[in-house]
Amino acid sequence: MEKSQYVAIEGPIGVGKSSLAELLAKELGGRTLLEAVDDNPFLPRFYADIKKYAFQTQLFFLLSRYQQQKEMFQQDLFRSSVVADYLFAKDRIFAYLNLDENELCLYEQVYRLLDTRIPKPDLVIYLQASTGVLLERISGRGIDYEKQVREDYLEKLVDAYNRYFFYYSDTPLLVVNTTDIDFVNNPADLASLVKEIRSIKGGAQHYIPVASR
């Protein structure tokens, strides 16, 4: 990778997106763009009753992500590298997972109006992990509303992410399975991953950590 790049990190809840975004921004001498998840007032109620609060939660996230990305682009923050802990396009993963047919129709109309105005990343890093590992990491974070995340919902989310990125071709893509590595507490894991990121030229690539080989 060259300097002054826009990198987006994606993956299901608990996989380590924000942690890697902050670490990678330091390595690249850039800055982070972190999603304001806790600003969504519907989120705690969503995990308690997904069907009832899915549409409100989804629409809030869509508009919030759009506004954040728009402000970033207008301020010309791309003069230095930017590492985001989300990909704007991933919003549709959750929409198709949680909304009913009528809600989805309205959602798509709004999404299509906004998506064309959002800059595309130079690289997307998709972090994977087993459902068991994700549940352990979520439990370790100790966030109250996340305690309501059900295993069956998490499994459906992981499957939805895998399907989405299996067909993803909008930008260069690096797929990283984090089940057996810890880039937060193991400097060697982070260094190896950063080396791989710097070598990305294009297309879709799978990074197999040494611990997984």
Active site residues: 85
Tell me the helix, strand and coil percentages in the chain, rounded to 5. 55, 10, 30
Task: Please list, residue by residue across 61-91, b when 16 or more beta carbons sit within 10 angstroms of its beta carbon and e when fewer do.
Answer: bbebbbebbeebeeeeeeeebbbbbbbbbbb
Q: Name the pairing type of β-strands 82-84 and 123-128.
A: unpaired
Task: Please name the residues in contact with 105: beta carbons below 8 A apart, sequence gap of 6 or more.
Answer: none
- Dihedrals φ, ψ of 124, to 5°? -115, 130
